[in-house]
Structure 1
Amino acid sequence: METDEAGLEERLKSALWMSIGQIVDEETMKLGVNATPQFIGALTEMVWTQIETVSQDLESFAKHAGRSTVNVTDVMLLARRNEGLDSILRAFVEQHKQPDETS
């Protein structure tokens, strides 16, 4: 079981590395600069660590509320101290609300 989890983590990190690499390539081409593979690797590790932290926080918020599933409320709670992110997420939630929702 541990081997399966380690394999899954490596596949996810590889996919993240590929995605970040593509984004970095697009942006460096626009700017006319170069990025080393080491930069992409370091950025990938930083993003992976952030994903781990965010996922643990979201899981804790849901668990504290007595739920086993993360929902929009948990995400909004996580974003509360980042005004820019909070406003973007609130606009997104409002835009995607179902017509019969009242909250």
Structure 2
Amino acid sequence: MEQVEDAGLEERLKSALWLSIGKIVDEETMKLGVNATPQFIGALTEMVWSQIETVGQDLESFAKHAGRSTVNVSDVMLLARRNEGLESILRTFVEQAREAES
């Protein structure tokens, strides 16, 4: 029964992701004056879903390795360490969030 519920939840999440990606693609293609097929949006959605699963597993592994059951900022920063642009954006965001808390 739980597997059926998990499968239903996964399908709803994928549908929501497809809808969001479709909106982004529509906005960008209108700006560029090109068209994107539903197959392109579907393939992009599958690629993003796969990336989300991988990132989630990595974050869980980092937290578990540190002896925690909860993912925190240090895990996210560790994940972003090989992407200098992303790491810079995240560092700025974290610093701004910490300043706002103070």
Q: TM exceeds 0.5?
A: yes
- Residues in 2 aligned to 1:64 and 1:5: alpha-carbon distance in whole angstroms: 26
Whether 2:43 is the aligned partner of 1:42: answer yes
- Residues in 2 aligned to 1:83 and 1:3: alpha-carbon distance in whole angstroms: 40
Runs of 5+ in structure 2 lacking a partner?
none
Q: How many aligned positions are there?
A: 99
> CA shift at 1:60, angstroms?
0.2
Structure 1 residues 1-103: aligned runs within 5 Å: 1-97=2-98, 98-99=101-102
- Residues in 2 aligned to 1:94 and 1:84: alpha-carbon distance in whole angstroms: 16
- Residues in 2 aligned to 1:32 and 1:83: alpha-carbon distance in whole angstroms: 31
Runs of 5+ in structure 1 lacking a partner?
none
Q: Which of the two has greater helix per residue?
A: 2
Aligned AA (2:49):
W
SS of equivalent residue, structure 2 residue 82: coil
> CA shift at 1:66, angstroms?
0.7
- Residues in 2 aligned to 1:68 and 1:81: alpha-carbon distance in whole angstroms: 24
Would you identify which runs of 4 or more consecutive aligned residues in structure 1 move more than 4 Å?
none
> CA shift at 1:19, angstroms?
0.1
Question: What is the TM-score with the length of structure 2 in the denominator?
Answer: 0.96
> CA shift at 1:85, angstroms?
0.4
Question: What is the TM-score with the length of structure 1 in the denominator?
Answer: 0.95
- Residues in 2 aligned to 1:82 and 1:88: alpha-carbon distance in whole angstroms: 10
